Amino acid sequence: MIKGAYVHIPFCEHICYYCDFNKYFIKNQPVEDYLKALDLEMATTMIQAGGVRPETIFIGGGTPTVLQDEHFARLLESIRKHLYHEETAEFAVEINPENLNIAKLEAMKRAGVDRLSIGIQTFDDTLLAAIGRMHSRESAIAAVQLAKDYGFHNISVDLMFGLPGQTRAQLEHSLHAAMQLDPQHISIYSLQVEPRTIFYHRMKQGKLKLPGQDIEAEMYELLIKVLRDRGFEQYEISNFAKPGYESRHNIIYWNNEEYYGFGAGAHGYIQGQRVVNARAVKGYITRVRSEGHAMVERHSVTLQEKVEEELFLGLRKLRGINKKTFEEKYHRSLDYFYKDVIANLVKKGLLHEDKEHISLTEKGVFLGNEVFEAFLV
């Protein structure tokens, strides 16, 4: 069963220096045609699915809230028409602080949106400028407060650490600023310098100064302590929630379950296939108009690949992987595939194993990539 739906809005007013997602400057883009194509892609897909709608919906980007109010409302109406249903477990939207307003909040309330993921990254104005963000500390605080005042009570504040020039003190300041807003969820990821980003080109030129690995590890240790002390449970390597406010959509990814991907460049996992849509906006529109979908890549996932993905995705969760669930899913035990690997990681102190689960140890959380790589053939 396909559990989730991701809807991609690839438009931005400004390109953040670290972003490697599929995105385009919104100026002169065929936004009207894009929204019509999205509507058609969702409609066609749901017909093929026999009307069975997903449990969770997430709108990401790009910058979904860069859309004009009228276009944003129309997007939400399309999603409600084709994907939403009374038993939808979570309907989330990615928000940029600088373009959140009452009209967009009203449209989200009407459509049934119940979770906002607000991309703040840092509450330090100097660092915000250094990473190419358009909002300020003040506008970020105002956006969260506006959403709360309008009745949204499931808000994630999204932060980053390991930023160029960032100090431990600046990270601690941002964490405490976030706590003052009393969100229900915190996502906090370390900066990854990816190809096709401004930061990547600066790094190649020797112009990007990042905190070293030791300082980044200290930052990670700090954020875990601060958030745990404030009542947040770390349920995934980079995600912390108050009880009952875990991201249900992201858990679908970490459980290696299937999901739709709608929009230009969107990825999906459907009936055992990893699929990718056309990246270019006009190419996406043309394909949907002619074929009802925009898939340009399909890969049938082998059993070995599924098992590997199950391990390196599932072990991101602090609860780890349930052995019984794994065996029911793949008709083989974990030991059948990885007995020696697991034993070696347990011996190194990176993995904990009991009768029911395997999970990262505290040391393993800090060395997650080493653990994940051990499960790749």
Which ranges of 132-263 would DSSP assign to H, the alpha helix? 137-149, 168-180, 198-204, 213-229, 248-254
pLDDT band (50, 70, 90) for residue 1: confident
pLDDT digits (tens, 9 = 90+) for 151-208: 999 999 999 999 999 999 999 999 999 999 999 999 999 999 999 899 999 999 999 9
Query: 357-360 and 321-322: which strand pairing?
Result: antiparallel
DSSP 314: H
Q: What is the reported pLDDT for 134?
A: 95
Q: Cα dihedral angle (116, 9, 99, 101), rounded to 10 degrees?
A: -60
pLDDT surpasses 90 at 266: yes
Which is nearest to 12 in space by CA: 22, 3, 4, 23?
Answer: 23
Q: Cα dihedral angle (1, 59, 68, 11), rounded to 10 degrees?
A: -110
**How many Å apart are CA 134 and CA 48, to the nearest integer?**
41
Going from the N-terminus, what domains does the chain have, and what CATH number goes with each? 2-253 (3.80.30.20), 320-374 (no CATH)
**What average pLDDT does the chain have?**
97
Contact 207, 165 (CB under 8 A): no
**How many Å apart are CA 191 and CA 223, to the nearest integer?**
14
pLDDT digits (tens, 9 = 90+) for 25-48: 999 999 999 999 999 999 999 999
pTM equals 0.96
